[in-house]
Structure 1
Amino acid sequence: MPSLAMPILTMPILANVLVAAGALLAAAAIVPAAEAAPTGASPWSDDHASRARLIAGDATPQERWAGLEIEMEQGYRTYWRTPGDSGIPAELDWSGSRNVASVEVEWPAPARFADPYGAYYGYEDHVVLPLRVTPEDPSAPVSLSLSLFYGVCKEICIPATGEAALTLPPEPVGSTPAIARARETVPARVALGDAAHGLAVRAVALAGEDRLAVTVDAPPGAMLLAEGPDSGWFLAADEAADANGIVSVEIVHRPRDAVGPLPLRLTLVGADGAIEVETRVPPE
Structure 2
Amino acid sequence: MTLLVPIRTASSIAFAAIACLAPVHARADDASPWIKDTYSSVRLIAGSRSGNVLLGGIGFQLQPGWKTYWRTPGDSGVPPRIDFSKSDNIDSVKILWPVPMKFPDGAGGISFGYHNQLLLPLRIIAKSPDKPVTLRASISYAVCEKICIPVEANAELAFVSVASTEDSAIAAALETVPKPAKIGDATPIAIRGVRRDGKLVLVDVALDEKNPAHKDKEVQLFAEGPTPDWALPVPKL
Shorter-chain TM band: 0.7 to 0.9
1:130 positional shift: 0.2
Kindly indicate whether the alpha-carbon contact (under 8 Å) linking 1:105 and 1:132 is maintained by their aligned counterparts in 2.
yes
Amino acid in structure 2 at the alignment position of 1:166? L
Residue deviations 1:48-83 (CA, integer Å, cap 9, x gap): 300000011133323111110000111211111111
**Which of residues 206, 209, 221 in structure 2 aligns to 1:217?**
206
Measured at CA, do residues 163 and 44 of structure 1 come closer, stay the same or move farther in structure 2, by a change above 3 Å? Answer: same
Q: Which has the higher contact order (CA 8 A, sep 6+)?
A: 2
- Measured after TM superposition, the shift of residue 157 of structure 1 is 1.6
Aligned pair 1:194/2:185, yes or no?
Answer: yes
TM-score of the superposed pair, with normalisation by structure 1: 0.67
* Contact preservation (8 Å) 1:61, 1:170: no
Match of 1:277 in 2: none
More helix by share: 1
Could you tell me which residue of structure 2 aligns to residue 135 of structure 1?
Answer: 126
Query: Partner of 2:227 in structure 1?
Result: 230
**How far apart in 2 are the matches of 1:200 and 1:194?**
6
Measured on the aligned residues, the alpha-carbon RMSD in Å equals 1.8
Q: Contact (CA 8 Å) 1:47, 1:161: kept in 2 or not?
A: no
In 1, the alpha carbon distance for the partners of 2:178 and 2:49 equals 22
User: Given that residues 46 and 52 in structure 1 are in contact (C-alpha distance below 8 angstroms), is that contact kept between their aligned partners in structure 2?
Assistant: yes
Aligned to 2:4: none
Q: Give yes or no for the alignment of 1:183 onto 2:174.
A: yes
Matched, 1:87 2:84: no
For this pair of structures, how many residues does the alignment match?
202
> Which stretch shifts more, 106-115 or 187-196?
187-196
5+ residue gaps, structure 2, are 1-26, 210-216
Matched, 1:113 2:116: no
Tell me, in whole angstroms, the C-alpha distance in 2 between the residues paired with 1:88 and 1:153.
Answer: 10
Q: Identify which range, 41-50 or 57-66, moves more after superposition.
A: 57-66
Aligned to 1:57: 47
C-alpha distance 195-185 of structure 1, shift in aligned 2 (>3 A): farther
Larger Rg: 1
Q: 1:222 corresponds to which letter in structure 2? A: V
Deviation for aligned residue 1:170: 7.2
Structure 1 contact 106–130 (Cα < 8 Å) conserved: yes
User: For structure 1, which segment, 214-223 or 64-73, has the greater mean C-alpha deviation from structure 2 after superposition?
Assistant: 214-223
Whether the aligned pair in 1 keeps the contact of 2:98 and 2:178 (CA below 8 Å) is yes
Per the alignment, do residues 61 and 170 of structure 1 end up closer, same or farther by CA in structure 2, a change over 3 Å counting?
farther
Q: How many Å separate the matches in 2 of 1:63 and 1:170? A: 14
CA displacement 1:108-162 (0-9 Å, x = unmatched)? 0001111232110011111000001100001122110111000111112211111
Distance 1:154 1:195 in 2: 40
CA distance in 2, matches of 1:58, 1:203: 40
Superposition deviation, residue 172 in structure 1: 4.3
1:156 paired to 2:153: no
TM-score by length of 2: 0.80
1:204 aligns with 2:201: no
Taking the aligned partners of 1:171 and 1:58, their CA distance within structure 2 comes to 5
SS state of the match for residue 232, structure 2?
Answer: strand
Partner of 1:21: none
Aligned equivalents of 1:95, 1:120: Cα separation in 2: 29
Contact 1:57 1:174 in 2 (8 A): yes
CA 1:136–1:172 in structure 2 vs 1: closer, same or farther (change >3 Å)? farther
Deviation at 1:189, TM superposition (A): 1.0
Assess, with a 3 A threshold, how the Cα gap between structure 1 residues 232 and 174 changes in structure 2: closer, same or farther.
Answer: closer
Deviation at 1:236? 2.0
Matches within 5 A, 1:8-23: none
The code of the aligned residue for 1:217 comes to A
Helix, strand or coil for the counterpart of 1:163? strand
Say if 2:29 is the partner of 1:39: yes
